[in-house]
Amino acid sequence: MTVWSVLKVTVVLWLLRKAARLAGRLLLAALAVAAWPVTLTAAAGYVAAWLRGWPPVRLGRAAAWALPVTAVWLAALVLRDHRWQAPPLTAQWERGWRQLSALSLVRTFLLLAPAAVPAGLGLAALLWAWRIYAITTGIGGRLASAPMVFDARQWRRQARTARGRVAAPGAVPLLASGGRIPVGGTIRTVGHRWHPVFTVPHQMCGRHMVIVGATGSGKTNLMIRLWAGWFTAAAHAGQNPLLVVLDCKGGRDARRKADRTRRLLHGAGARRVAIWPDEARLTLWDLPPDDLAVLLYQMVETGDGAAAYYADIMQAVLTLAITAPTGPPHNAAEFLDRLDARWLEGAWARHPGQAARARAAARHLPDIQLRFSTLLGRLGPALDGPGTLADADAWYFILEGTREPSVAEAQAMAITELAAHTATDPFGAPRAMLLAADDYSAVSRRVPLSNLYERGRSLGIGVQVSAQSWHGLGGSEDERYRIAATADGGIWVLQTPHPEPLAALAGTRRVLETAHKFIGATWGNEGTTRQQRAWTADPDVIRRMDVGQACYIRRGAATFVQVARPRPSPLTLTPAPIPACPAMPVPARRTDAVPDPVPPSLDDVFGPGAPL
Amino acid sequence: MNPFDALGLPARPDLTDEQVRAAWRRIAAATHPDRPDGGDPARYAQASAAYAELRTPWGRSEAYADLTSPEGPGTEPLPVIPGGPLPPPMQAARLTAAIGCLPARIWHGRPLRLLTRALAAALLSLGVLALIPGQPAAPAVITGLITWFVLTGRGDLAPPPRR
């Protein structure tokens, strides 16, 4: 074989390959032109998906929603012809080609639309899915950076679409059908099913949920939405819900948040929403005596080592004072009165063993009384009653965890104990309960979150915990993992600088990565594709999220959401105009009175009124 | 008389301190016993008592709770939605209620946008009827337009009550 013949064969083969490829493309173009109504619909669907960042499933569902059109068309054909026959698509298509005017083309499109629209949208879904696959695996795109550029651009478009979706008043109500809580517009899903509005079943709030996000990341909006959604769902299900919120940071922001929560819960149907300690009180003296003794013991900081001796004495004294035969104390003053040797001996006079213990501890009693007097004085009257958790539909507790951590810790212990008591009260009505602790890290030194979780789980209380960062979830890495890994209601991650540990809980997924062989400065037509592992919830994406965007991690899948600001339905509290002044009977003017107009300043007569 | 009525205010828990105080001052200025005409002491006392009750958010919350609690007047218990399928009479009642609150949902939603959608769907339907009259495709395309309007217009409605 000569060189010339080899060259000839090579050229012929090259020409054949090119000709086959050209023929294929021409055939495809001819098909696209011939089936132009389908092509037109597919192109429109593809461009819409590209511009709005829709996933292919969105186009697939649009195609499914277009099927009733086809069904009506077929039904109309049968009704017209009184018999079943194949739709006259060909005739209508041919008619369109005979008169190539704009009006004729529109008419042809309309005649073929019942078949062309579902087919076109389905085709667009397939093409869009292929495009995403090709780009993400690296077999498509002109440049090596195509996957990154494509992903960044699609994220921007998906976020913009989600923002537009949550702006619609009815798109994200407080409660959707089936008891699901709408959270916001879906930006992107990895592993979860895609829906335009992301919802979580309200039962998820009845389990354990973790929310991590920096200040100003939209955490409050998310939490209030979840509370209101859970409350509405539980109320609709007739579960008599009780929401207990611990705002452990306190401060002025907490008051504003409490007020907002109250308005929203009223809109959701709550009748009584109590804000503690500003407007409502609780009594911890209603607790069962044994529990009360343990709680009071825990509320005072006790040391270990040599101090354990005094701790034991204190516990013994508390048990004697609270479980006395005369019954438990009814308030702080009565309790402090009991921390007295004469009182204890008198109360236990008929019980020699306990009376002897009281005598033995007599010299420590003034110290113990002083400690509890100080503690109860710092706690203030808000835990001294009257009132129980069962009195309201929702309680918002403001603990000054930033200003007075030790007081807030003691208060948090008391409140969680009261919540546990309410949940297990055999005489109370069964209620669904959600205990939400916002910025719990401020008070978690003495009541670790994991304890709260475990108690909540055993009592059937849903526990929702929020922190500003991964490190705020607990004092040690072990504690943090124990909290996050047991959050079976899901983990919400908002903008935070260190999301890796939380993102790791979503796991990894298998992705394809293609390496291209370079020939000179351009890609050659050879390369390899291999399987790799990638984050399910990409920490870099989480780190770059805007305010109001959140990532929900559950069961090895993640969904990125644009959280909608919670608003009650305006129809729940129908706005009524406030009348200028109600009609009142005008008394007859007395003729003997000296004319004296209303004083210019009403405060002179009525006092300054309520402080604003 | 409930305290909201005594001050001539709507029974709402989300009234502001300013609204309550302004209502009380109006009534107090018109009925105070120190007025030259003697005022209306009974009405004044009633309004004062109501103001004392409603002057704080907690007080308003309590008064509202009393009004709407099952034991109190104006009972409006939350609708309980059972888990399984509803019997036909309940389904019909729910449908009637849903239709009844539709005008309010439109009004409190985005009525202009909804109107634009409705006009677009109506005009396109008219265009279809003009272009392919009597063809089986006409009702089918109009069905598609109605489907589009219903699916996209839902977001423009305000959420139903307590949702």
- Say whether A136 sits in a helix, a strand or coil: helix
Q: Helices (DSSP H) in A364-426: which residue ranges?
A: 365-379, 405-424
How many Cα atoms within 13 Å fall on the side-chain side of residue A93? 14
Same domain, B105 and B62: no
Q: Which of A65, A76, A170 lies nearest to residue B155, judging by beta carbons?
A: A170
Render pLDDT for B76-131 as a digit per residue (tens, 0 to 9).
333 434 344 456 666 777 778 778 888 888 888 888 999 999 999 999 999 999 99
Under a CB-based contact definition with an 8 Å cutoff, are residues B21 and A609 in contact? yes
pLDDT tens-digit series, residues A159-204: 999 999 988 888 888 888 888 999 999 999 998 899 999 999 988 8
Give the span between the Cα atoms of B113 and B157, in whole angstroms.
Answer: 10
**Helix (H/G/I), strand (E/B), else coil: A54:** coil
A39 touches chain B (CB under 8 A): no
- Assign A598 a pLDDT band (cuts: 50, 70, 90): very low
Task: Indicate whether A320 pLDDT > 80.
Answer: yes
Burial class of residue A429, CB neighbours in 10 A (0-12, 13-18, 19+)? exposed
Residue A584's pLDDT band, with cuts at 50, 70 and 90, is very low
Instruction: Report chain B residues whose CB lies below 8 A from the CB of A279.
Output: 56-58, 61
Which residues on B lie below 8 Å from A113 (Cβ)?
137, 140-141, 144
pLDDT at A582 over 60: no
Residue window 568-597, chain A: list those with CB within 8 Å of chain B. Answer: 569-574, 576-582, 584-590, 593-597
The CATH number that applies at residue B43 is: 1.10.287.110
Mean pLDDT of A430-452: 79
Q: Which of A278-292, A376-390, A567-581, B40-54 has the lowest mean pLDDT?
A: A567-581
With respect to residue B87, please indicate whether it lies within any of the assigned structural domains: no
- What is the mean pLDDT of the segment spanning A384-391? 82
Q: Do B64 and B106 have their domain in common?
A: no
Residue A503 has pLDDT above 80, yes or no: yes
Residues of B in contact with A576 (CB under 8 A): 10, 12
Burial class of residue A492 (count of CB atoms within 10 Å of its CB; 0-12, 13-18, 19+) = buried
Give the Å distances, CA to CA, from A220 to A176, A392, A438, B120: 21, 22, 9, 39
Q: Three-state SS across A250-303?
A: CCHHHHHHHHHHHHHHHHCCCCCEEEECCCCCCECCCCCHHHHHHHHHHHCCCC
Counted domains in chain B: 2
Among B68, B91, B122, residue at a domain's last position: B68
Q: Is the ipTM of this complex over 0.85?
A: no
Residue B82 lies in a domain: no
Render the burial of A555-586: b for 16+ CB within 10 Å, e for the rest: eebbbbbbbbebbbbbbbbeeeeeeeebeeee
Q: Decide if B73 is inside a domain.
A: no
This prediction's pTM: 0.77
Does any CB of chain A come closer than 8 Å to the CB of residue B37?
yes
Residue A82, Cβ density class (10 Å: 0-12 exposed, 13-18 middle, ≥19 buried): exposed
Residue in B closest to A87 by C-alpha: B136
Provide the CB-side half-sphere exposure for A488 (13 A, CA): 8
pLDDT at A55 over 90: yes
User: What local confidence, expressed as pLDDT, does residue B102 receive?
Assistant: 86
CB contact under 8 A, A168 and B156: yes
Question: Could you give the CA distance from residue A539 to residue A252 in angstroms, rounded to a whole number?
Answer: 33
Banded pLDDT at A45 (limits 50, 70, 90)? very high
A198-241 tens-digit pLDDT = 999 988 888 889 999 988 888 888 999 999 999 988 888 888 88
Could you tell me if residue B78 is inside a domain?
Answer: no
DSSP labels, A472-540: GG-SSHHHHHHHHHT-TTEEEE-S-S--HHHHHHT-EEEEEEEEEEEETTEEEEEEEEEEEEEESS-HH
Phi, psi of B127 (to 5 degrees): -60, -40
**Shared-domain flag, residues B55 and B108:** no
Domain range for B64 is 3-68
Residue A459 pLDDT more than 80?
Answer: no
Residues B9 and B64 reside in one and the same domain: yes
Q: Evaluate whether residue B94 is within a structural domain.
A: no
> Left (φ > 0), alpha (ψ -120 to 50) or beta: where does A429 sit?
beta
Could you tell me if B150 and B105 lie in one domain?
yes
Q: Do B80 and A69 touch (CB under 8 A)?
A: no
For A169, which of B40, B64, B158 is closest by C-beta distance?
A: B158
Which pLDDT score is estimated for B87?
A: 61
Tokens found for residue A488:
């079976």
B20 within some domain: yes
Within its chain, how far is the Cα of A87 from the centroid?
50
Beta strands in A17-67 (DSSP E): none
Q: Calculate how close chain B gets to A500, using CA atoms only, in Å.
A: 36
Tell whether B60 and B105 lie within a shared domain. no
Determine whether the interchain pair B61/A274 forms a contact, defined as Cβ–Cβ distance below 8 Å.
yes
Of B23, B45, B68, the position where a domain reaches its end is: B68
Q: What is the pLDDT of residue A71?
A: 92
Taking alpha carbons only, the member of B60, B93, B116 closest to residue A263 is B60
Q: Are B61 and B14 in a shared domain?
A: yes
Consecutive H or E run containing A463: strand A462-467
Strand partners, A509: A534
The residues, ordered by sequence, that sit 6+ positions from A398 with a Cβ below 8 Å of its Cβ are: A247, A250, A254, A255, A258, A275, A276, A277, A278
A558 forms beta bridges with: A190, A553
Residue B32 within a domain: yes
Confidence of residue A39 (pLDDT cuts 50, 70, 90): very high
Whether the Cβ atoms of residue B6 and residue B46 lie closer than 8 Å to each other:
yes
Counting residues of chain A whose pLDDT is more than 70, the rounded percentage is 89
Reply yes or no on whether the pLDDT at A48 is more than 90: yes
In the stretch 55-74 of chain B, residues with CB closer than 8 A to chain A read 55-58, 61-62, 64-65, 68-69
| Residues paired with residue A512 on neighbouring β-strands, in sequence order | A531
Distance CA A514, CA A520 (A): 18
pLDDT above 70 for A586: no
For position B71, what pLDDT does the model report?
A: 42
- Note whether A190 and A536 are within 8 A (CB): yes
Chain A neighbours among B 83-142 (CB < 8 Å)? 83, 101, 104-105, 108-110, 128, 131-132, 135-141
What's the mean pLDDT in A339-350? Answer: 87
When pLDDT is cut at 50, 70 and 90, the band that residue B69 belongs to is low
Strand order in the sheet with A197-201: A197-201, A180-190, A557-563, A549-554, A490-493, A208-212, A462-467, A433-438, A242-247, A394-398, A273-276
Q: Determine the Cα angle at A213 with ends A173 and A488, to 5°.
A: 70
Whether the per-residue pLDDT at A581 is higher than 60: the answer is no
Residue B143 falls inside a structural domain = yes
Query: Would you call A584 and B27 a contact, using CB atoms and an 8 Å cutoff?
Result: yes
